Amino acid sequence: MDTSTTSSLYERARRVIPGGVCSATRLNRALGFPFFASRGEGSRVWDVEGREFVDMCCSHGAALLGHGHPAVGEAVRKAISLGTLCSFETEYHEALARKVCEVIPCAERVRFCSSGSEATLHLIRACRAYTGRDKIIRFEGNFHGYHELIYIGGAPPPPALARNRAHPYVESAGIPDQFAKLIIPIPYNDPEALRGAIADHGDEVALVILEPVVFNCACIKPQPGYLELLRELTQDAGIVLFYDEILSSFKKSIGGVQQDMGVTPDVCTIGKALGGGLPLSAFCGKAEIMDMYRPAGPVQHSGTFNAHLTAVLAGLAFLEEAQKPGFYSHLRELEAQLHAGINRIIEDHDLNMIVPHHGARFDILLGRREPALRYEDTFCHSKETLLKIIKACWQRGVYFHDYGGIPAHHGYSVQHTREDIEKVLSVLEDVLAPLKGQL
Ligand SMILES: Cc1ncc(COP(=O)(O)O)c(C=O)c1O
């Protein structure tokens, strides 16, 4: 395939942008370059060579409305007509906050910011102030953003796993090791490890943070009773239960995994899809914790661009769309069609893989047919093979993003159609069938 325009753009970008990308994971390692897009519309994206792709990344889950949704366009035009106001409160901020408090089970108060990393950073701070404690229990395989407070102990390379529990693995150069002293990583879905961590450190622990469905690692789901146990143990120990729903919010239902699974945390983050493709995230929870923020309380959270009017109006538009009767029923139909099709391909071609899903997102895990329950269950997965699969799909007009080949998340939008899913299935069958015996 001709990639000459992409290659020369990539080369020029590398002269002025480190690595040629504004976000490290934008390099698609399967392709060897970032997807330089020229435009997007509905379920489709076009590259700078003019080729059209069914988009199965959907902006890492932010484009649940698809690309160029008319309701988002209208919100942006309204923001422009109001002077693209920045750093003011408006009636729309109150309206969006009220809506979030209506639909997210744990939300009694909410604050808005732009990214998921910001949201986890600020909410951790309030949890610490509220409890007067500093430590964080977190789960291996879960991901909560790239900052010093939490980019530690989540994804140690397999040889470092045994050490991770004693010396949490720092996931980026430049993060001082001192931060690792505040992190207690434990395996997910392991009641004894949870009980042990709380028994050993409970009176120093401010929060337990988790992705309740671990989209960043093989879509691991909580075992029956596990969330209930977490709820009970944290409550008894005076620890804040913190769901990071930056990715899982809105994917299966409007209230997130806390609604889907019926266990309500004390606080949570929500994001990605919330802004309809514009930068908007939020953190919310019990009033007594959220009212720790200045000027109501002593915890600082402030920012020039917090809750930019453009994103707030897009957020209102997103929630209005998501509350329309056909929204989740359409996503559910696509989910049923896609996974019936994939399971049929796996069966017919006797493939050693599984595609676990929750709502409009799914992960591809190679090397086993049973769902993973914890991080180390994914070590059977071959990153190289997944990269080959992603490249072969790209060559056939279906875009899957790569996160270094790990079994991370993919997904579709409400503008995807049955025909899009048919195309994805036929490409997947073409690519996967020859891999029998190799996964
Ligand atoms: C669960 C979770 N938390 C936090 C983040 C960080 O969000 P952002 O990339 O918007 O900073 C992500 C991003 O993928 C995420 O999946």
- Residue extents of the structural domains in the chain: 4-68+325-435, 70-322
227, 235 Cβ separation under 8 angstroms: no
Span 330-355, pLDDT tens digits? 999 999 999 999 999 999 999 999 99
Share of the chain above pLDDT 90, in %: 98
In one-letter notation, the amino acid at residue 269 is: T
Tokens 């997210």 belong to residue? 104
Ligand 1 mean position, distance from CA 322 (Å): 21
Q: Is domain 70-322 annotated with CATH 3.40.640.10?
A: yes
* Alpha-carbon dihedral 65, 66, 71, 77, rounded to 10 degrees: 130
CB 151 within 8 A of CB 178: no
Q: Which residue type, as a one-letter code, is found at position 362?
A: F
- Would you call 304 helix, strand, or coil by DSSP? coil
Average the pLDDT over 223-247 and give the result: 98
Binned at pLDDT 50, 70 and 90, residue 405 comes out as confident
CA–CA gap between residue 245 and residue 264 (Å, rounded): 12
Q: Is the CB of 409 under 6 A from ligand 1?
A: no
115 CA distance to ligand 1 middle (Å)? 7
Ligand 1 contact via 401 beta carbon (within 6 Å): no
Q: Is 115 in the pocket of ligand 1 (CB under 6 A)?
A: yes
Per DSSP (E only), the strands in 73-204 are 109-113, 135-139, 183-186
265: Cβ below 6 Å to ligand 1?
A: no
Average pLDDT for residues 106-118, to the nearest whole number?
98
Task: Output the CA 145–ligand 1 centroid distance in Å.
Answer: 5
> Which residues are paired to 27 by β-bridges?
34
**Ligand 1 centre from 387 Cα, in Å?**
22
Are the C-beta atoms of residues 308 and 316 closer than 8 Å to each other? no
Q: Which of 215-219, 400-404, 409-413, 424-428 has the lowest mean pLDDT?
A: 400-404
2 CA → ligand 1 middle, Å: 33
CA 181 / ligand 1 centre spacing (Å):
23
pLDDT value of position 23: 97
245 C-alpha vs ligand 1 centroid, how far in Å? 9
- The predicted model gives 13-27 an average pLDDT of 97
Q: How far is CA 346 from CA 244, 351, 369, 384, 390, in A?
A: 31, 5, 9, 19, 17
CA neighbours closer than 13 Å in the CB half-sphere of residue 222 = 21
Does ligand 1 come within 6 angstroms of the Cβ of 25?
A: no
pLDDT higher than threshold 90 for residue 426: yes
pLDDT on residue 109: 98
Q: Is 246 in the pocket of ligand 1 (CB under 6 A)?
A: yes
Q: Is the CB of 283 under 6 A from ligand 1?
A: no
φ, ψ (nearest 5 deg) of residue 267: -145, 160
Residue 63: per-residue pLDDT: 98
Mean pLDDT of 200-217: 97
Q: Which atom of ligand 1 is nearest to the CA of 120?
A: 4
Pick from 78, 50, 55: which is nearest to 65 by CA?
A: 55
Distance of alpha carbon 13 from alpha carbon 275, whole angstroms: 28
- Predicted confidence (pLDDT) at residue 71 exceeds the cutoff of 90: yes
Q: Which atom of ligand 1 is nearest to the CA of 269?
A: 3
User: Which 3 state secondary structure label does DSSP give 185?
Assistant: strand
CB 424 less than 6 A from any atom of ligand 1 = no
The answer to whether the CB of 211 is under 6 A from ligand 1 is yes
Indicate which atom in ligand 1 lies nearest the CA of residue 115.
10
Strand ranges, E, within 42-170:
44-47, 52-55, 109-113, 135-139
Fold of 4-68+325-435: Aspartate Aminotransferase, domain 1 (3.90.1150)
- Are 304 and 293 in contact by the 8 Å Cβ rule? The answer is no
- Taking the whole predicted model, whether its pTM rises above 0.95 is answered as yes
Query: What average pLDDT does the chain have?
Result: 97
- Among 58, 79, 158, smallest CA distance to 367 is for 158
What would the mean pLDDT of 229-240 be, rounded to a whole number?
98
Q: What is the pLDDT of residue 404?
A: 86
